[in-house]
Amino acid sequence: MGFLPCSGAPLLFMFPNFLPPSATNLTESTSIALIQSIERIAIPTPLSYDAIATTYVNQGSGSTPLLLIHGFDSSILEFRRLLPLLAAQRETWMVDLLGFGFTQRIPGIKFSTTDIKTHLYHFWQTLINQRVILVGASMGGAAAIDFTLTYPEVVKKLVLIDSAGFTGSSPLGRFMFPPLDYLATEFLRNAKVRQSISRAAYKDKSFASEDALLCAALHLEMPDWHKGLIAFTKSGGYQPFKLKQLENIAQPTLILWGDNDKILGIKDAPKFHKAIPHSELFWVENSGHIPHLEKPQITAEKILNF
């Protein structure tokens, strides 16, 4: 474990020693609480001879656990405000997807969407091993749809938050060849670029604080971050789902969407609602692309009541 000093206070907070030292700069109480809760476990998979050191959080209790999946180039830290609200009433799991967050990036893995769901399945099998309510945000929504279609017996219900799935792969893809692949990831690493993306994700720009920026960038300091991102993007990422695929989702599905989403827009929300048979759509008012950060109370309420 490492120590996380609270600025201006004599107390010291413990945090896992596999996390970057800049975790000591977190200031928001929910960020500090989550960073203290992160655990790591070696998950055996058919993807590699070596087990994959996988970061996750597990809190709360109750039947039918929730499993939360983060978005593109993100980590479980994006659920820092949602977790305590959900875990107060239900067992809640969060995991860093293969190639993302603080999960180990083992050389030789392609970090394709197939690899991601294979790793996710073995994480579920190792630690949860019962049906879940799968919650995916942004790219995590596409990952959740893909997982649900492949392993329908695992998923009892599906929740999509401003989900990808009607749009194509990352626009970075066209730059993913040497030396532009490395330069593209360095561009994405740039603090001003990330601040601009962060501000665009919120309706209320005051949420794009220094703490929020650090939460969104902390995983960039992990070993081989750029290699994992390059490999995922080169693999093609998540391509648009066909209507026939979405029509095959038999699980009850809740679609939550910020009514001021400037990242994916708002046109895909009714498309998902129309395509997925047993779905309901709820607009999160006065929210941008990440209502789980901007409107965590209403987001949690809708998930828990679903």
pLDDT of residue 175: 43
**pLDDT band for position 78 (cuts 50, 70, 90):** very high
Q: Which residues pair with 66 in a beta bridge?
A: 92, 133
Q: Is 90 exceeded by the pLDDT of residue 12? A: no
**pLDDT band for position 3 (cuts 50, 70, 90):** very low
Q: Which H helix or E strand runs over 26?
A: none
pLDDT of residue 233: 85
Q: Is 60 exceeded by the pLDDT of residue 11? A: no
More confidently predicted of 296 and 182: 296
Q: Is 70 exceeded by the pLDDT of residue 179? A: no
Give me the DSSP letters along 199-244. Answer: HHH-SSGGG--HHHHHHHHGGGGSTTHHHHHHHHHHTT--PPPPHH
Average pLDDT along the chain: 90
* Section 231-243 average pLDDT: 90
The per-residue pLDDT for range 183-212, each reduced to its tens digit, is 666 767 777 878 888 889 999 999 999 999
pLDDT of residue 198: 84
Nearest alpha carbon to residue 33 among 91, 79, 97? 79
Percent of the chain beyond pLDDT 70?
89
More confidently predicted of 94 and 62: 94
Q: Is 80 exceeded by the pLDDT of residue 20? A: yes
Q: Is 50 exceeded by the pLDDT of residue 7? A: no
The per-residue pLDDT for range 121-140, each reduced to its tens digit, is 999 999 999 999 999 999 99
Q: Is 70 exceeded by the pLDDT of residue 168? A: no
Q: Give the Cα separation of 146 and 181 in Å (integer).
A: 26
* Section 269-277 average pLDDT: 97
- CA trace torsion 78, 289, 69, 28 (10° rounding): 10
* Residue 272 backbone dihedrals phi, psi, to 5 degrees: -60, -45
Question: Does residue 277 sit in helix, strand or coil?
Answer: coil
CATH number of the domain located at residue range(s) 2-305 in this protein: 3.40.50.1820
pLDDT of residue 193: 77
User: For every residue of 55-118, which 3-state class applies, written as one string?
Assistant: EEEEECCCCCCEEEECCCCCCHHHHCCCHHHHHCCCCEEEECCCCCCCCCCCCCCCCCHHHHHH
Question: Does residue 294 sit in helix, strand or coil?
Answer: helix
Q: Is 60 exceeded by the pLDDT of residue 2? A: no
pLDDT of residue 9: 40
Q: Is 60 exceeded by the pLDDT of residue 180? A: no
**pLDDT band for position 19 (cuts 50, 70, 90):** very high
